[in-house]
Amino acid sequence: MAQVALPAFLSDYYQNAFNLKQHLQEFLHLDSETLEQKLAAGTQQLAELGHRDFDWETATTFYRDKVGEIYLFELGAWHLDCLKNLESTLFLIVDHAQGLVLDFGGGIGTHTICAALCPQVEQVIYCDINPLNRDFVRHRAEQLGLSQKIAFCSEMPPEKTFDTIISFDVLEHLPDPCEQLLSFHQALTPEGKTILNWYFFKGFNQEFPFHLDDPKVMEAFFKTIQSKFVEIFHPYYTTARCYRKWV
């Protein structure tokens, strides 16, 4: 596959993930050695927390109140280790995001920042139930000079429509991903697009105890997405997919 060059306005990403390590150090008041240790331990610590405390009946509380800084380190390590796959996801955002964008379950803000840097995007609404995540991404936006282009919320804004909805590594964390798909469908403008991925798998060694893998729910999910959306082909090697609404 031919190498695709990142556009100039994203050129900083591939070198340092939008200054991710620097932002983590500043926000959490850590030295570089301590940060590296916490990044290395984050995935295992989150898995242990999930095995101990996660329950689908209290999933919202788990992600909002219990994961704390561990989730920043787990997500940070993944984004730093998987640059090539993430680069392809950024290409998708650059190609299709426009107008008013919702980043649902925005995590550490990589995709929000990418969308906010796109000249065809007017504003990004970053949505995440975790207050620490919101504060961290707000810090990142300030450091990158994007505060005027990114707004923040804890829940998907009701009665609002979006030209683009992006949601990465979120649907498998929800007890009813079909309901979320229908919410996306309702919130998209007629010509709008959504870019999604999912991972309905608990891992070969149960390292993702907080992921949904119920076969009946998964079947309903795929039936829902096929009945409400049309997939748009893209040439990038990534698990993310782009859709428009059935018209």
pLDDT (tens digit, 0 to 9) for every residue of the chain, 247 residues total?
Answer: 456 777 888 877 767 889 999 999 999 999 999 999 999 999 999 999 999 999 999 999 999 999 999 999 999 999 888 877 788 899 999 999 999 999 999 999 999 999 999 999 999 999 999 999 999 999 999 999 999 999 999 999 988 999 999 999 999 999 999 999 999 999 999 999 999 999 999 999 999 999 999 999 999 999 999 999 999 999 998 899 999 998 7
Angle between helices 131-143 and 20-28 (to 10 degrees): 120
Which of 177, 178, 105, 112 lies closest to 146, judged by CA?
A: 112
Token pair 């007890």 is found at 175
Across the chain, which distance is largest between two alpha carbons, in Å?
53
User: 148-175 pLDDT, tens per residue?
Assistant: 999 999 999 988 999 999 999 999 999 9
What domain range includes position 185?
16-245
Token pair for 235: 């040439």
Q: Is residue 153 part of a domain?
A: yes
What's the chain's average pLDDT? Answer: 93
**pTM of the prediction?**
0.95
Distance CA 212, CA 138 (A): 29
Per DSSP, the three-state class of 110 is: helix
Q: 138, 161 in Cβ contact below 8 A?
A: no
* 4 domain-assigned: no
- Structural domain includes residue 71: yes
Domain count for the chain: 1
Domain contains 11: no
Taking the C-alpha atoms of residue 191 and residue 247, their distance in angstroms, rounded to an integer, is 9
Closest residue by Cα to residue 56 from 180, 175, 218: 175
- Is 84 contained in some domain? yes
Which CATH number does the domain housing residue 99 bear?
Answer: 3.40.50.150
Contact 245, 190 (CB under 8 A): yes
Say if 6 falls within a structural domain.
Answer: no
The answer as to whether 69 is a domain residue is yes
Is 7 inside a domain boundary? Answer: no
Q: List the structure tokens of 208.
A: 């993702």
